Amino acid sequence: MKQRIITAVLALFIFLPFVLIGDLPFTILIYIMATIGLFELMRMRKIAKYSLASILGIALLWLVLMPVEADMLFGRFLKSEVIMLAVMFLLAYTVLVKNKFNFDHAGFILLSTIYVGMGFFFLIETRNSEVNGLTMILYVFLIIWATDTGAYFFGKAFGKRKLWPEISPNKTVEGAVGGILLACLVGVIFQLLSPIATSVLAIIGVTVLASVFGQVGDLVESAFKRYYGVKDSGNLLPGHGGILDRFDSMLFVLPILHFIGFIH
């Protein structure tokens, strides 16, 4: 716990200034973090870091992370068309290496780039939004941290029924409920201090949804690690693991809040 707290404080001091500044410095940092996250997944699948396949995967990830307005960068091609072209190159690579890199590998890279890319794309879009970008980022991270904290302490104190032992043996139903309750408390306080929803009832509804999807994102990452037999996605953050270990909830929360129109 001591190691986790020290790492969390140091990471916050590094990350927070970029969040406050926003714009290009924040975007560059997120590109770096997303790239590390994709490398973590490819390492689980034992895909060589410096292979042509991984380079194509990184190129595809960076395309996904580009803003919607990036269409103008590709002349007569749309961003979506360039992504499709990158997918074709990735699939063609399976032929060039005579299936040493096969369709399963290509499918893994494609799904991984979407999984990592969608969350970090919306992180960039949210922060660089002209309407409440910084406020929304702070709300999302506070809800995620409150969910994690509530789940941990409620689980320790009251946990009896396992939530999903095949995937994450330590998580309990009581912990999951405690995470939602603490997230709602934090959400209501946030709403009172800096209104971002039409009412307290509305912020409670959004917060419950965000907390639930945050925990689903956490379980998805746990499922990956259990399937590939690794304890952590990486070792960049001592006591916490890798980038995906820390941002797995965000990868689900930000997209869902955009999809329901809460974040524009």
Do the beta carbons of residue 112 and residue 57 sit within 8 Å?
A: yes
Residue 234 is predicted with a pLDDT of: 73
CA angle (200, 201, 204) in 5-degree steps:
85
Residue 98 is predicted with a pLDDT of: 82
The mean pLDDT of 124-134, rounded to a whole number, is: 86
The mean pLDDT of 246-259, rounded to a whole number, is: 94
Chain centroid to CA 82: how far?
A: 24
Label the pairing between strands 162-164 and 168-172.
antiparallel
Taking CA atoms, 41 is separated from 7, 58, 106, 162, in Å, by 22, 12, 13, 27
Do the beta carbons of residue 30 and residue 120 sit within 8 Å?
A: yes
Better pLDDT: 238 or 63: 63
For the chain, the average pLDDT equals 88
The mean pLDDT of 63-90, rounded to a whole number, is: 79
- Split at pLDDT 50, 70, 90, the class of 77 is confident
- Split at pLDDT 50, 70, 90, the class of 238 is low
Residues 5 and 16: their CA atoms lie apart, in Å, by 16
Map residue 75 onto helix, strand or coil.
coil
Neighbours of 9 (CB within 10 A): 10
Q: pLDDT tens for residues 176-186?
A: 999 999 999 99
How would you class 210 by CB atoms within 10 Å of its CB: exposed for 0-12, middle for 13-18, buried for 19 or more?
buried
Better pLDDT: 1 or 248: 248
Share above pLDDT 70 across residues of the chain, in percent, rounded to a whole number: 93
Q: What is the pTM of this model?
A: 0.89
Q: pLDDT tens for residues 153-181?
A: 988 888 788 888 888 888 899 999 999 99
Share above pLDDT 90 across residues of the chain, in percent, rounded to a whole number: 48
Q: Is the pLDDT of residue 75 over 70?
A: no
Q: Is the pLDDT of residue 242 over 70?
A: yes
Residues 37 and 158: their CA atoms lie apart, in Å, by 33
Taking CA atoms, 248 is separated from 30, 48, 131, 215, in Å, by 14, 23, 25, 9
Give the torsion sign (CA, 158, 183, 19, 72): positive
Tallying the residues shown for the chain, one arrives at 264
